[in-house]
Amino acid sequence: MANSYAILKERYAKILNKYLQEKNEIGLYHAQQFSKKVLEDQISPEEMVSIHAETLTKLCPDLPAELTDSFDFLMEIMVAYGMAYREHQSLIDKQK
């Protein structure tokens, strides 16, 4: 379990890094493919932002503190999206 999560984060680091260097449509295509995986693995929106923040900080260690702080703020907002999604999922399951 923990291993597959680590692999997911490694994959994200690889594709984000490539995108930051090349900044092309292929990179965005890889993002789309990755997004299918995170939904399959039920990674919440706030967890996705956390993965992004952690990855970006490792790839670009000189980024200012405001950036990390701003991600904490964004994560707090994404929690609501995750909760709304899980509530809807639960409603659907009940109706089955």
Could you list the residues that contact its own copies (CB under 8 A)? 16, 19-20, 23, 27-28, 31-32, 34-36, 38-39, 45, 48-49, 52, 56, 59-60, 63-64, 66-67, 69-70, 72-74, 76-81, 84-85, 88-89, 91-92, 95
Using the structure block, give the residue that is written with the tokens 């039920």. 42
Report in angstroms how near the CB of residue 73 gets to its own copies at its nearest: 5
Using the structure block, give the residue that is written with the tokens 């994404």. 78
Report in angstroms how near the CB of residue 31 gets to its own copies at its nearest: 4
DSSP code of residue 79: H
Burial 74-83 (b: 16+ CB within 10 A, else e): ebeebeeebe
